[in-house]
């Protein structure tokens, strides 16, 4: 993909590992990034994703949570525990409607 303008950076490929670190992204990129990344995680069969937003002032966490509340891709979410980032990370459970069938065919509901 070619950037729209010389000032716009080229897209960055993000590996689908079930963990998304938002520290390097601008706040205005978060909604589209979450949507695309969670969609790719569902395609890969991942049922839980860890979103790292950092502790900071909590603004980015609230932005992430507001988006997750509205997303049809998400069945639930919670803050991480002491082993998964505490309140600097959110664990997201993806909606079963998004997972591919075991035979690779149509999507199925879990």
Report if residue 10 sits inside a domain. Answer: no
Order of all β-strands in the sheet with 74-79? 19-21, 48-52, 89-94, 74-79
Report if residue 7 sits inside a domain. Answer: no
User: 39-94, pLDDT tens digit by residue?
Assistant: 999 999 999 999 999 998 888 999 999 999 999 999 999 999 888 888 899 999 99
Say which range, 22-31, 59-68, 98-107, has the weakest mean pLDDT.
98-107
Say how many domains are in the chain. 1
Q: What length is written for the chain?
A: 110
Report if residue 104 sits inside a domain. Answer: no
The H or E element containing residue 62 is helix 59-70
Q: What is the domain-level CATH number for residue 43? A: 3.30.1370.110
Give the domain extent around 44.
19-98
Task: State the first-to-last Cα distance of the chain, in angstroms, to the nearest integer.
Answer: 34
Output the pLDDT for position 98.
60
Report if residue 28 sits inside a domain. Answer: yes
């Amino acid at each position: 993909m070619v950037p729209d303008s010389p000032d716009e950076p080229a897209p960055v490929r993000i590996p689908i590992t079930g963990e998304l670190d938002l520290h390097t992204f601008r706040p205005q990129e978060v909604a589209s990034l979450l949507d695309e990344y969670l969609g790719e995680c569902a395609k890969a069969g991942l049922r839980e994703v860890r979103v790292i937003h950092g502790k900071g002032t909590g603004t980015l966490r609230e932005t992430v949570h507001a988006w997750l509340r509205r997303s049809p891709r998400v069945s639930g979410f919670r803050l991480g525990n002491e082993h998964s980032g505490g309140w600097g990370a959110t664990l997201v459970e993806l909606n079963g409607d998004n997972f591919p069938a075991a035979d690779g065919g149509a999507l199925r509901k879990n």
